[in-house]
Amino acid sequence: MPKTKIGVLISGRGSNMMSIVRACKTGEIPADVALVVSNKADAAGLEWARDRGLTTAVLSHKEFHDREDHDRAIVSALVTAGVEWVCLAGYMRLLSRPFIEAFPGRILNIHPSLLPSFPGLHGQRDALEWGVKVSGCTVHLVDLELDHGPIVEQCAVAVGDDDDEEALSARILEHEHQAYPRALRKLLSVPWRVVGRRVVFGKPR
């Protein structure tokens, strides 16, 4: 049976994209990464992907009239590559409705906090400033709101008294690299459905 094709969207370092690619190669995720898209030509993750023979595309938002036009171009590249599931991995743009509707219930994001706490650009810094003793990461389905869709997977990470933003981010990132492949493996191997806001695994009783 042909494997599910995943498209990964990045804007920078791409370490979560790397963890997904590796997990596809080892068979942990029953899928292949068919396309890596970046909105930034200088994203470090792009070079890593190219070096490994992955198909990549750069579609800069600056070259499009508006967000929807940009998103339509990305969707078209993903569809042409046969992509069925989309993983946002440090992709620093909010998706518009045409994008979300092109892959209904099949777009994932990872965020470095235990949502719904600390959404937004600085999840780790905001958690530290609030003084929480536990933070972590969240893999969730993407909807129109930032860091908002139904939660697929979460992983708790203790916050140390000596942690600064860099130390906490690095510790959370290690768990992100486990959580994203784990979430994908579950979604692609086990029946699931969304009940209200809850992602429920297993056949309905």
Q: Which residues bind ligand GRF (CB under 6 A)?
A: 10, 12-16, 89-90, 110-112, 173, 176
Shortest distance, CB of residue 13 to ligand GRF, whole angstroms? Answer: 4
* Residue 70 designated active-site: no
| Tokens linked to 16 | 């979560």
Shortest distance, CB of residue 2 to ligand GRF, whole angstroms? Answer: 27
| Tokens linked to 8 | 């990964």
CA 20 – CA 5 distance, rounded (Å): 12
Shortest distance, CB of residue 186 to ligand GRF, whole angstroms? Answer: 18
Between strands 192-195 and 4-10, the pairing is unpaired
Shortest distance, CB of residue 203 to ligand GRF, whole angstroms? Answer: 31
Q: Which is nearer to ligand GRF, 15 or 178 (CB)?
A: 15
Q: Which is nearer to ligand GRF, 89 or 108 (CB)?
A: 89
CA 59 – CA 7 distance, rounded (Å): 14
- Candidates 172, 200, 191, 145; CA nearest to 15 is 172
From the list 65, 70, 111, 175, the catalytic residue is: 111
In three-state secondary structure terms, 80 is helix
CA 77 – CA 6 distance, rounded (Å): 12
Question: Which residue matches tokens 């979300």?
Answer: 100
**Whether 129 contacts 98, CB under 8 Å:** no
Q: Which is nearer to ligand GRF, 54 or 79 (CB)?
A: 54
Shortest distance, CB of residue 109 to ligand GRF, whole angstroms? Answer: 7
Q: Which is nearer to ligand GRF, 112 or 149 (CB)?
A: 112
**Whether 23 contacts 188, CB under 8 Å:** no
> Which residue's Cβ has the minimum distance to ligand GRF?
90
- Candidates 116, 130, 114; CA nearest to 175 is 114
> Which sequence positions are flagged as catalytic?
111
